[in-house]
Amino acid sequence: MYTSPLHYSTMRPQPPGGGVSQTHDPNAEELRNAEWYWGKITREQVKNILSGKPDGSFLVRDALSKEGEYTLTLIKDGTEKLIKICHLNGKYGFVDCKFNSVVELINYYKVNSLKLYNKTLDITLSNPIVRPLDDDELQPNGDLRILANQFLVLHNRLNKHQQSLDQKLKIFKSIETELNEKKLHQEVFQRAEKMFQSQIKLIETFINTQPQVGLNDNNAAISNSMRQQEQEQLQQNAALIKARLTDLCFEMTKLNRYVEEKKEEYKSLERQINAAKPELQSIIARKEIFTVRLKDFGIKDEDIKQLIEMGFEAWQQRYDSVVNQPHNDESMWFLKDCSRSNAHDLLNGAPTGTFLIRAREAGHYALSIVCKNSINHCMIFKTESGYGFAAPYNIYHTLKKLVEHYASNSLEEHNDTLTTTLRIPVVYWHQNKDTIMQQLQEEMEMERQQQHQVELEQQMQEHMMLPSPIVSSAPIAVTGSAASNHGNDMAASQTPPTATPPQAHSYGSSSGGNGSSNL
């Protein structure tokens, strides 16, 4: 009774040069990540794994006889074929070691037939047997960094393989279209060849036809003279047609040779595409497994997209910052039963960007926010398409999504007077007034120093009679508990000069308690 191949899924392959006494192999990680590399498993285990697999199926394992060498096991004609992969002077191969790595060697024979190595092995490595991932690989020591980086490696490999496959498919389709056109050209050449041959045969038949007898001498002489002239003309025509036929056959031979070359290229591309598909599918399957494990860490689909765009280090900084933002806690800013007057009391004296959202008795919701010592109130519509300040921007599925967007985007997108973001949830402000004020002062001091530095540089440039470069003042990064007025001063300059969006419905602002009472 054979042991199930899945039994060996927990046997994590060790890369070449994995021993302590061996020197570092730069291709070790590449080989270890190859789906078809199974590491240190026995021949009997390989036999169980490959049992019943179709021709072209293969895997690579460590050679048992010599450290640093490998064994390729291939199914051909329903039986196992073992091929030793040698390692000499940093190169790999079956006989002549000319490949820089085992992966390079395998990739070569995925496209090219093994008959180049052994005439009896007219087959390519078309079906890699994928080694299942074990728990240690999928979640190494619970380290999110390693898991995320392995996911990114797989994602980049998948993109690279997909782009390569798409390019090959594009060329494949182009050649296919060209071959169909050339086939029509060949048919035209063949019809033209038959027509010329028919014309030549007809002319030669007429030339060889004997003249009629029974004419008197005078008529016979005239007839012979005319016939001789006709035959000379026909012979000239026949020679001309034959010359044309020769040219036609020459061009047709060129066309046929070109078509044969294109057919070989077409077949080669077809082999490459067929060889790439299983590997592409295995990478997709592996990426899906890693995606599931990332989600086990609490990472959402949107976070995974940002991880791909930003890379792990930048993503982690942003992720940690976002996770720790008080905006994520709705109780910090959503006061359902809060009235307009209560909102004013809560926001009175708060810094710019301090906000809350409340439900309106008349329906929908209201944003109350401080901007430049003034308390403003804006309606938030709840529609079938989502929440928002005005159509067609009612696109946020939840109030939290709306808050997340405007926590980093200025409200002046919809109201020119609100040159701020949703910076400080009102409850968080009341819980951390001293800390927030201290951070605001520090940021204002940093801004003052930066401005002073810019002025000094401008003075130096003017003194040196050099043109002054354009100075961009980037907003200062803040933590979730910090807020400042710095972004407010720059917001107006960031508003696009065209296609002004609908203004958010502002129901008045108040300073010191005076404002409209319609919200």
Given a cut of 70, whether residue 178 has pLDDT beyond it is: yes
pLDDT tens sequence across 288-317:
888 888 888 888 888 888 889 888 888 887
Tell me which CATH code domain 28-128 carries: 3.30.505.10
Given a cut of 90, whether residue 377 has pLDDT beyond it is: yes
Q: How many other C-beta atoms are found inside a 10 Å radius of the C-beta of residue 42?
A: 11
pLDDT tens sequence across 322-331:
666 888 889 9
pLDDT tens sequence across 259-271:
999 999 998 888 8
Given a cut of 70, whether residue 341 has pLDDT beyond it is: yes
Q: In the chain, which segments carry CATH 3.30.505.10? A: 28-128, 326-434
DSSP helix/strand/coil, 513: coil
- The top-level CATH class assigned to 144-209+225-296 is mainly alpha
Lowest mean pLDDT among 30-44, 109-123, 214-228: 214-228
DSSP helix/strand/coil, 7: helix
* Predicted pLDDT at 218: 63
Lowest mean pLDDT among 95-109, 289-303, 342-356, 370-384: 289-303
β partners of residue 76: 79
* Rounded CA separation 492/171 (Å): 50
Given a cut of 80, whether residue 252 has pLDDT beyond it is: yes
Output the six-digit token pair for 380: 């938030």
Tokens 């308390």 belong to residue: 375
pTM exceeds 0.85: no
Is residue 67 within 8 A of residue 19, CB to CB? The reply is yes
Output the six-digit token pair for 497: 């000069």
Helix axes 312-323, 301-310, angle to 10 degrees: 140
Tell me which CATH code domain 326-434 carries: 3.30.505.10
pLDDT band at 157 (very low <50, low <70, confident <90, very high): confident
Sign of dihedral through CA atoms 474, 475, 480, 481? positive
* Predicted pLDDT at 353: 93
